[in-house]
Amino acid sequence: MKILHTADVHLRHTGDERWESLQYLLSIAGEQSVDAFVISGDLFDKDLDAENLRPAIRVLFSGNEFPVIIIPGNHDARLLSDMYFGSNAVLLGDHLEPHIIGDVAFYGMAFESMDEHRVLERVQELKTRLSPDHTNILLYHGELLDVMFKRSDIGGEEETGYMPVRLSFFKDMKIDYVLAGHFHTRFDIRQLPDGGYFVYPGSPVSITRRETGRRKVNIFETGKPPAEYLLHSPHYEEVITILDPLDNTDPTTNIEERLSNLHPQAKVLLTVGGYFNKDLIGRSEKELVDQIAAATRGHCEDVRYEFRDIRHILADDLFSSFIKKLDSYDFDTQKRHQIRELTIRAMMEANK
């Protein structure tokens, strides 16, 4: 069986980039001839969004050649298994009642507010239901404690402890795949104790600016490892350029070259740091900023100017003392220049 696994779409409106990304994923599922399309929680950003969007979702989730199997996440926890989301939609509610397709059994642990001990109990309850004759797949939405999370990794959630689970919870269980959601930042695979896989696909479209880089989904065949599938969906890219006060290369050209190599769906977050040398570049700070703004117009979501003026280094008493000492030695011009460059770079590092 071939499965497409995603999570954390966080739908809010029809027609926006998140909605279009879901449509795009459904088209990929058709092109890849998948047998099941899995959404491991947070299809919607809020419960109210779920209710407002359900008429349109019913259209998307009807008439496909594959079922769309969904579990609620912490953002859409009030979704109920008896709600109608379309003729191909299956909403898993009771974790002990699987949805079976051929020799594959899909179990779902809908999000609930519970601690680690209760999660362990819930997982262990599955033991009596898992068949050795099936490929057993658990859809899960929560925090894997074996991974070091930052708040930005899970969409900037302010609270912690969303259905916390550990890989050891699945020891001695015939679980072949845990298809998880809640971890936004990147595609992440972990090995289960008895040889299965725990996988986060990451968000298929950047939900916050901290989710940078091309987005991915998990498309795999049962019996094989999870597999990254690169998406052509909107995402943030962080570009950092450091002004070198000893290099007369035009920084605007460097920025243009870097932007030209990015994916067309990238929304660039540009930071310009380092030290500005007016004498070497031959223009003022304002002129440089105006040129960067013109070169990046239409490409950057945000530009931050964090560079400092090299004159702060050149006017430093310690630097002045060192240069006087340097001048007292009988070095040739090239050697003197090299030492001066090293000193400037060292003081730049010290002044970060």
Q: What local confidence, expressed as pLDDT, does residue 334 receive? A: 85
Residue 79 and residue 180 in one domain: yes
Q: Which of 230, 260, 293 is the last residue of a domain?
A: 230
Please give the sequence-ordered ranges of beta strands (E in DSSP) within the chain, or none if there are none. Answer: 2-6, 36-40, 68-71, 89-91, 99-101, 104-109, 135-141, 177-181, 188-191, 197-200, 216-221, 228-230, 235-243, 266-276, 300-305, 308-309
Residue 249 and residue 161 in one domain: no
- Mean pLDDT of the chain, nearest integer: 91
Angle at 60 between CA 54 and CA 64, to 5 degrees: 135
Return the percent helix, strand and coil in the chain, to nearest 5: 30, 25, 45
Residue 117 and residue 209 in one domain: yes
Is 255 strand, coil or helix? helix
- 65-120 per-position pLDDT tens digit: 999 999 999 999 888 888 899 999 999 988 999 999 999 999 999 888 899 999 99
Residue 146 and residue 70 in one domain: yes
d(CA 199, CA 176): 11
First-to-final CA distance of the chain: 54
Residue 124 and residue 244 in one domain: no
> What total number of domains does the chain contain?
2
Domain with 250, as residue range(s), is 235-350
Percent of the chain predicted with pLDDT > 90: 69
d(CA 35, CA 68): 9
d(CA 201, CA 167): 17
d(CA 72, CA 139): 10
Residue 160 and residue 258 in one domain: no
φ/ψ region of 63 (left if φ > 0, alpha if ψ in -120 to 50, else beta) reads: left
Q: What local confidence, expressed as pLDDT, does residue 38 receive? A: 98
Helix 17-31 vs helix 47-60: angle between axes, to the nearest 10 degrees? Answer: 40
Decide: 141 and 193 in contact? Cβ < 8 Å. Answer: no
Query: HSE of 307 in the Cβ direction (CA atoms, 13 Å)?
Result: 26
pTM for this predicted structure: 0.86
Decide: 169 and 149 in contact? Cβ < 8 Å. Answer: no
Residue 250 and residue 224 in one domain: no
CATH number assigned to the domain comprising residue 223: 3.60.21.10
Residue 87 and residue 143 in one domain: yes
- 6-21 per-position pLDDT tens digit: 999 999 999 999 999 9
Q: Is the pLDDT of residue 151 over 80?
A: no
- 228-255 per-position pLDDT tens digit: 999 999 999 999 999 988 888 888 999 9
Decide: 347 and 314 in contact? Cβ < 8 Å. Answer: no
Q: Which of 186, 214, 230 is the last residue of a domain?
A: 230
- Pick from 32, 10, 88: which is nearest to 220 by CA? 32
Residue 85 and residue 32 in one domain: yes
Residue 30 and residue 53 in one domain: yes
Q: Read out DSSP for 26-52?
A: HHHHHHTT-SEEEEES-SBSSHHHHHH
Q: Is the pLDDT of residue 340 over 90?
A: no
Q: Which of 230, 262, 281 is the last residue of a domain?
A: 230
Q: What local confidence, expressed as pLDDT, does residue 319 receive? A: 86
Is 284 strand, coil or helix? coil
Decide: 268 and 239 in contact? Cβ < 8 Å. Answer: yes
Residue 318 and residue 176 in one domain: no
Q: Is the pLDDT of residue 153 over 70?
A: no
Residue 173 and residue 240 in one domain: no
Decide: 226 and 178 in contact? Cβ < 8 Å. Answer: no
